[in-house]
Every structure is written in C-alpha cells, then in structure tokens.
Amino acid sequence: MKKIFFVALILSVLILASLVIFQSFSDKPEKVIIEKEVLPPMSILPVHSVIIPEKLDFASESVPLDVFYVKESLDRELLVNTYWHSSSLMLFKRANRWFPVIEPILKKNGIPDDFKYLALIESGLQNVTSPAGAKGFWQFLKSTGREYGLEVNSGIDERYNVEKSTEAACKYLNKAYEKYGDWTLVASAFNAGNRRISEALKKQKVNSYYNLLLNDETSRYLFRILAIKTIFNDPEIYGFQLTNEDLYPPIPTYTVTVKETIKDLVGFAHKHNITYKTLKYFNPWIRKEYLPNRSKRTYHLKIPEQSYFSGIN
C-alpha cells in the first residue's frame, strides 16, 4: 500500500511540474512578425534621350550623320555632356570669360571659330597639366610649345599665357591645314599628332577622320567638340538654363610693360593696388615668386581694372 501511495505521489508531482512548465511557456508572448513596410516608388526626375541635330558641321565641313557609327558616336558625347551637369555648367561659365579673348585671335589667324571648342574640351579653359606634361588652355607639350614660339623654362612658361598660347595654337593648326586641307583632320591631329594621323590614313586607305579606326581618345575627340558646340548653340534644348548673372564675366585689364627682373612680385602687386594672388591669376605664366629677366626681354603683365577688383585689404 505504501509503495502504491509513493508511486502515486511521484506521478502527481511530475504531472504538476509539467503543468507549471507548460503554463510558463504558454504565458510567453507570441512572436510578432512585422511586415516590411511597402514604400511608394521613388520620385525621380524623368530621364530622356537627347536630340541629335539633323545637320551638323565642323568648321563648315559637313558631319556625315547618315553613317550609323558617326551618329551613335555623337549621341554618346551629347548624353555625357548633357547629363554631366556640374562639368558642363562650369564650361559655360568659363567660356563666357575666355571666349572673347580666344575668338579674335583665331579670326585674325584665319582659324575657324569652332576651334575655340577644341580648347574648351582640351582643358576646360583651365591651366591644367596632363599626365604627359601638356599644360595650359591648349595643352602644349614643352617641346611643341617651344617649336611654336613659346618661352618655356623654370621661371617663365608661356603655355600658361592665354593670348600667346592661342597664337601658337593658330600656327600649329594652320601648318596642319597646309598638310591635310581638311579642318576635321587638323583637329584630330591636334590630339594624336600629325604622324599618327598620316600613318593611319595611309594604312587604312581612307581620307576622312570619320572613316578612321583610331584609339578611343582620338576616336571620341572630334565628337566631344561637336557635342559641346551643339549644346552651346542651343543650351535650353539640352536642359541648361543660365542667365548672364550665372556666367563668369570678362574682366578688363590694362598692361604694364617691364624689361627687367622683378625681384619682389608682392611689392609690385601692392604698387598696383592688387594682391600677389590676383597678380598670379592674371599672369600665371610667371612660374616663380619673382620675374626672372636676365635677357632683358619685354614682358607684358596684365593688371585688372580697379572697378572689377576691390584692391588690397
């Protein structure tokens, strides 16, 4: 009897324990599954393809847009420059300041006006340096700059002189035109060099830039020029809406002629009521903190008109 009672007691304890454990589990809150919030589609501006003009020319030479790869190459560069907003906007701004300097020099030397866009794509109208060491608005190598009359040394580098480097570019372009008789080929030769273009024409037995198979940079080169020209000629069609206030204005300057070394450019600048920084902005061809002139050459330094500059402070 005692054994039966003992077994019954153990069973009762086990049953009670099971009930307690079960109750403890049942008291836990159910796992809540939160549905991921379904967000509405992003609101973004529509993106459109670009308008390709029906007719286009470079330096009065017709672009064969009826050739599929010519049209598609232009399309690519129009897309890049239309939707690379920050870069293209800066080109508009700088061109407003520097085209009035470049245009009359091109005209005087018989170079088609379209070549101003070549300078624009070469440097963005900035005094930049390429990986190969080409410098200035027209991206002349040291040897080429010297060949076309520019002074290039440690103290003076006229590749940074807008007027003189544009004159040098005109000499280069006119010489190339004497060789090719085709402004489109002249532009491509400015990028690749006369030798490479001449060899490619001979090897591939064609006489047009548009039919040449060239490296990627030169293959895109003229189309970049054409795209920028197209956008500049009708900016609103390509989404650019700028006012005169948005653009960098030309800044009138006067010239100070010097024929000797200027040892203290800071003092020279202050004498003309401008800062050293401003003096270097308008005369970036001076590469040192002084103007070396052992040869007694004549240099013309540009000083901004005071109405466009607040002076020293």
pLDDT at residue 32 greater than cutoff 90: no
Domain ranges of the chain: 57-246, 253-308
pTM: 0.84
pLDDT band at 37 (very low <50, low <70, confident <90, very high): low
The structure tokens listed for 29 are 């809150």
Closest residue by Cα to residue 228 from 90, 88, 28: 88
The tokens describing 7, both together, are 């077994």
- pLDDT, mean of residues 67-85: 96
What is the average pLDDT score of the chain? 89
- The distance of Cα 272 from the centroid of its chain, to the nearest Å, equals 34
> For residue 125, what pLDDT band results from cuts at 50, 70 and 90?
very high
Q: According to the model, what pLDDT value does residue 17 have?
A: 53
Alpha-carbon distance 65 to 69, whole Å? 8
Alpha carbon of residue 188 to chain centroid: 18
pLDDT in tens, 222-268: 999 999 999 999 999 999 999 999 999 999 999 999 999 999 999 99
Q: Give the range among 34-38, 71-75, 95-99, 175-179 with minimum mean pLDDT.
A: 34-38
What pLDDT, in 10s, does the model give residues 143-186?
999 999 999 999 999 999 999 999 999 999 999 999 999 999 99
Pick the CATH number of 57-246 from 3.40.50.10470, 1.10.530.10, 3.40.30.10, 3.40.50.280: 1.10.530.10
